Amino acid sequence: MFKTTADPADCEVRSVIRFLNAEKVKPAEIHRQLVEIYGENAMTDGMVRKWVRQFNDGRTNVHDEARSGRPSVVNDGLVAKVNEKIRENRRFTIRMLFDEFPQISKTVLHEIVTNRLNYRKLCSRWVPKMLTDVHKTK
């Protein structure tokens, strides 16, 4: 009996499928061998058949193809502009920022303020997350 390999990379499994398909092994037998070596959660029989079909149609790449996603509106220039507005008035609200940047949602503005700029709400002022003793006395 072979030693099972836990959590294989997808491209590794696809490489095995490509190799066995080139050896003219049937998809059901490929799936049986994958389960034997990689365990039950390696890949379903249907997915093995899909990949065999793609390799037979001429595909050679075993890696995922790049997918298009929604482009991010957050860039360094925008973060700098938001930081500049915050420094002008520390007693701002996300709603006030939204009035300044109407093309950006409030959720994205909140993410910029909290995650990218690391500001936290302290009383009614936004302050940097890491306060020094000098900052605390002021």
- d(CA 21, CA 56) in angstroms, rounded, equals 8
To the question of pTM greater than 0.85 for the whole model, the response is no
- CA–CA distance from 49 to each of 7, 23, 52, 114 (Å)? 21, 15, 5, 46
DSSP symbols for 24-73: T--HHHHHHHHHHHH-TTS--HHHHHHHHHHHHTT----SPPP---PPP-
pLDDT in tens, the chain (138 residues): 566 677 788 889 999 999 999 999 999 999 999 998 888 888 899 999 999 999 999 999 999 888 777 777 888 999 999 999 988 988 888 898 999 999 899 999 999 999 899 888 766 667 667 777 887 787
Q: What is the pLDDT of residue 93?
A: 86
Q: Residue 90 is inside which H or E element, if any?
A: none
Q: What is the pLDDT of residue 125?
A: 67
> Could you tell me how many helices (H) and strands (E) the chain has, helices first?
7, 2
